[in-house]
Structure 1
Amino acid sequence: MIDKLSPRNLRVLIAVYEASTVAGAAQVLLRAPSAVSRSVQELEWALGTPLFERMTAGMLPTPAAEVAYRRAKRMEGEFLAAHRDLVDLGVVRHAPLFAMMMSARQIEMLLKLAELGRMPLVAEALGMSQPAISSALRELEQSLQVPLFERGLRRMVPTPAGALLVFRLRRVRSEIEHLRADVGSALGSVRGRVTLSMLPSSRTALMPQAIAHFVERHPDVQVTVVDAPFDVLFAGLQSGEIDVIYTGIGPEYQRRELRVEPVSRDGLVLVARAGHPLARRAKLTASDLARYPWVLRDPSAPSRQLLDQVFARIGLASPRVAVQAGDLGLLRGLLMQSDLLSAVSPEHLLHELQAGTLVVLDMDLPGSEREVGFVLRKDAQPSTPCRLLMDDIHALAITLSQHAIPRSHYEKE
């Protein structure tokens, strides 16, 4: 069923939608009308709904076809972008691939080769024979007249042309998944998958409540949460593998061709265990902080970059980072069992601060307040399930911010 939602068939959908007749689409595509009709029927079978009403005057798009057409045009745009990316590398300008002449199986094969790097693993993952994979890859490379993978002793590595094509095909695969989800939602059945990442401070209250509420109302949607260094997350966002990131918003995102949707605000505080030597000290100084090691996120994390900026602004040396980690459980354990310091949003360690096992140290961090919200690819069109989840997160974030506990509540008397 998945293979029926291929670029090859969706190319036919575009032609029929724009020509309004099977005969007109067949003329544009240089295919027999019976082949065009068969492609439309395969799409309808795969999506479980009619896409066109067969009228005497032509093909009238249904609401499902309107949704599918918009996604198919986005896929067409990715293939055109692949053409622009690859022509400078010597590929054949009129290769069939650039006209969306690919099956979903071919896309999965190339993406699995890039991911796994070994043909036996790809064959096992896709249920294909190694000769079939080798033949399909060779045929594709011959049509483009450039190698897509370097055959090494241990693994296959994408060439520059292969890497560019893989990037675009990841976006195409994402659009195929969104198409199925959007059509289902248009028919009243919210289903599909949402892949997101989030800043650690949202994982204590906001995200557990929002996601639990969402999956209760939409049990046919799978929510996948990705945790990785921010550079990896943003690469996934650009390739379509991650739908949205909920994080602190900085001006650098505008330079990354990203779109931001602010939701709320937060700030950083210095935290340590309740029995820490600095816990009862008033008006801490730079020398006080310099005596102790820190546990912080990786340098690409927005909170880490913000802290470095704040320290530079108030004339403090950068913290001496002994442990670099983003895992909440590890952070909690390190702070409670050592004299390590950290800087986090209060919501990050909400339960520990409320219980008094961790405390906020007496030192202001002016300029650490920031906007928090969604970061998406600049040209992204989130699927219906993704947008519904974002709406739930947004609404709950506003509610929680209205009932936020002030910083003074956490400070040690």
Structure 2
Amino acid sequence: MPAATTKPQPQVTIIGAGPAGLMAAEVLAQGGATVTVYDAMASAGRKFLMAGRGGLNLTHSEPLPQFLTRYREAMPKLSAAIEAFPPDALRAWSEALGQPTFVGSSGRVFPQSFKASPLLRAWLRRLDSMGVQLKLRHRWIGWDESGHLLFQTPNGQRGVNVTATVLALGGASWPRLGSDGTWAEILPAKGVKISRLRPANCGFTVAWSDIFRDRFEGQPLKGVTLSFGSHRVRGEAIITRTGIEGGAIYALSADLREAVSSSGQAPLRLGLRPDLETGDLIARLSAPRGKQSVSNWLRKAAQLSPVGIGLLQEAAMRTGVQLSSLSSEYLAALINAVPITLNGTAPIARAISTAGGISFDELDPDFMIRRLPGIFAAGEMLDWEAPTGGYLLQASFATGAAAGRGVLQWLKKRMANSE
């Protein structure tokens, strides 16, 4: 009687060792595939670690229906993946790795350690125990003449023949951490439609006066409101040498970016004392100024910070008026609606994330690229964007898991067809 033969395990390659790629690797390894993860950098999860420098915001605790709306136009394309691996599942996954989470006052979810490195180390140990191999300093540069994946390594080019591939190379922000967007030049050669990569959750440029820029660069604006059109957010911002950035700016960045792109500028309104009723603010500003300078008077009467007063002076200078000549009513209105004209976006290399990417029309429901059978894509490579607050990482994890499941389904069908 002939000896039974063991079928070889399918070989699956993941390109990109960030959250999407590593999650795809975990799902695939659990499903019985032999998995190798390739990354151009010398270590895994470089941008993930950077995201955790100020406290790793894994996801958000708001109800899932509201959560999904944060993905705007991409919501219908991402909903199934996120519903299959929702925020609660991500929190349970983190806890299983020895990193329990907590909900902050803003509803954001963080590991109790508040760091990315313990979570990443535990995750890499788990993947190693599952047989996942990690090949570092391997930069994907396309395919060779035989259709094999082609990598640039320290020892020259190397071709790799695999059964299936998950592309999880990230966007184009923070390229020094590995996500340089070069894939956006490789895939169109194969007929894959790519929406132009653009900065998301980014800062903007402003034509500050030399005096304002030199004095207030790096100064924070705390507890302010930012308004653009019908959108209004409360938060913080930071004055930069070339403009303005920060959490409140990022929350509006998609609409601001499109306005700048279409008309060359975006009119932003900044509220310096949003907690004060207009009548109360007018009463404070109606008190006699006496011999006080305008700056001292505004600091005492309206409790404005030096940078806030500087913004008022910038606005007055551009309209050719003196703050001291304004009525209490007009000045109160100005304090809570300081005009700032944004005239450009900060470079994509400094953005938190990237808009644009592989069009969802190019993907089947399992995240396989239709034109490239056996090639799947996940994470920030896809054409979606979301605000900060945990939404970016949640969708990266969820689409990585979805792509992993998609590969397993594709392999199962392929095996069935070959029998």
TM-score, scaled relative to structure 2: 0.28
> Higher strand fraction: Structure 1 or Structure 2?
2
Greater RCO (Cα-Cα under 8 Å, separation 6 or more):
2
TM-score, scaled relative to structure 1: 0.28
